[in-house]
Structure 1
Amino acid sequence: MKRIAVLTSGGDAPGMNAAVRAVVRTAAGYGQEVVGVRRGFQGLHQGDMRLLGARDVANTIQRGGTILLTARSHTWRSPEGRAQGAAFLREWGVDGLVVIGGDGSFHGAHYLYQEHGINVIGVPGTIDNDLYGTDHTIGYFTAVETALDAVDKLRDTAASHERIFVVEVMGRHAGHIALDVAVAGGAEEVFLPEEEKHVSSVVEIVQQSVSKGKASSIIIVAEGYPGGALGVAAAIEEGTGFDTRVSILGHIQRGGTPVSSDRILASRLGEAAVHGLIEGRTDVMAGRMNGEIVFTPLSETWEKRKDLNRDLYRCAKNLSV
Structure 2
Amino acid sequence: MKKIGVLTSGGDAPGMNAAVRAVVRKAIYEGMEVAGIFNGYEGLIQGKIELLQLGSVGDIIQRGGTMLRSARSPEFMTEEGRQEALKQLKAHGIEGLVIIGGDGSFKGAAELVKLGVPCACVPATIDNDITGTQFTIGFDSALNTVIDAIDKIRDTATSHERTFIIEVMGRDAGDLALWSGLAGGAETILIPEVEYDLEDIITRLKSGSGRGKKHSIIVVAEGVMSGTALSDSLKREAGIETRVSVLGHIQRGGSPSARDRVIASQYGARAVEVLKEGKRGVAIGMQNHTVIDYDLAIVFKRSDTKKDEELYKLSKELSI
Q: What is the TM-score with the length of structure 2 in the denominator?
A: 0.98
> 2:203 corresponds to which residue?
204
> 1:163 corresponds to which residue?
162
Equivalent runs, 1:148-159 vs 2, <5 Å: 148-159=147-158
1:293 is matched with which residue: 291, 294, 311? 291
> 1:24 corresponds to which residue?
24
> 1:263 corresponds to which residue?
261
> 2:84 corresponds to which residue?
84
> 1:47 corresponds to which residue?
47
Equivalent runs, 1:1-321 vs 2, <5 Å: 1-114=1-114, 116-225=115-224, 227-304=225-302, 305-321=304-320
Give the % identical residues.
47
Contact 1:45 1:84 in 2 (8 A): yes
Contact 1:203 1:235 in 2 (8 A): no
Which portions of structure 1, spanning 4 or more consecutive aligned residues, are displaced by more than 4 angstroms?
Answer: none
Provide, for residues 143-172 of structure 1, a one-character-per-residue CA deviation record: whole Å limited to 9, x for no partner: 100011111100000000011000000000
Provide, for residues 242-297 of structure 1, a one-character-per-residue CA deviation record: whole Å limited to 9, x for no partner: 33100010111000000001000100000000000001111110111112121122
**1:172 partner SS:** coil
Report the more deviating stretch, 51-60 or 192-201. 192-201
* Alpha-carbon separation, structure 1, partners of 2:124 and 2:75: 22
Report the more deviating stretch, 196-205 or 259-268. 196-205
Contact 2:231 2:241 in 1 (8 A): no
**1:200 partner SS:** helix
**1:5 partner SS:** strand
Shift of 1:228: 2.2
Provide, for residues 203-248 of structure 1, a one-character-per-residue CA deviation record: whole Å limited to 9, x for no partner: 11110110121110000000000x3212221222223333310001
Contact 2:41 2:71 in 1 (8 A): yes
Contact 1:131 1:306 in 2 (8 A): no
Shift of 1:41: 0.2
* Alpha-carbon separation, structure 2, partners of 1:212 and 1:192: 27
Contact 1:38 1:70 in 2 (8 A): yes
**2:155 partner SS:** helix
* Alpha-carbon separation, structure 1, partners of 2:240 and 2:287: 44
Provide, for residues 159-191 of structure 1, a one-character-per-residue CA deviation record: whole Å limited to 9, x for no partner: 000110000000000000000011001000001
* Alpha-carbon separation, structure 1, partners of 2:78 and 2:172: 25
Contact 1:96 1:277 in 2 (8 A): yes
* Alpha-carbon separation, structure 1, partners of 2:190 and 2:76: 35
Contact 1:18 1:62 in 2 (8 A): yes
Shift of 1:199: 2.7
Q: Which letter does structure 2 place at the counterpart of 1:196?
A: E
**1:237 partner SS:** helix
Provide, for residues 66-97 of structure 1, a one-character-per-residue CA deviation record: whole Å limited to 9, x for no partner: 00000111000001101101111111111110
Structure 1 unmatched ranges of 5 or more: none
Q: What count of residue pairs does the alignment treat as equivalent?
A: 319
Contact 2:96 2:275 in 1 (8 A): yes
Q: What is the TM-score with the length of structure 1 in the denominator?
A: 0.97
* Alpha-carbon separation, structure 1, partners of 2:258 and 2:184: 20
Contact 1:200 1:235 in 2 (8 A): no
Q: Which letter does structure 2 place at the counterpart of 1:106?
A: F
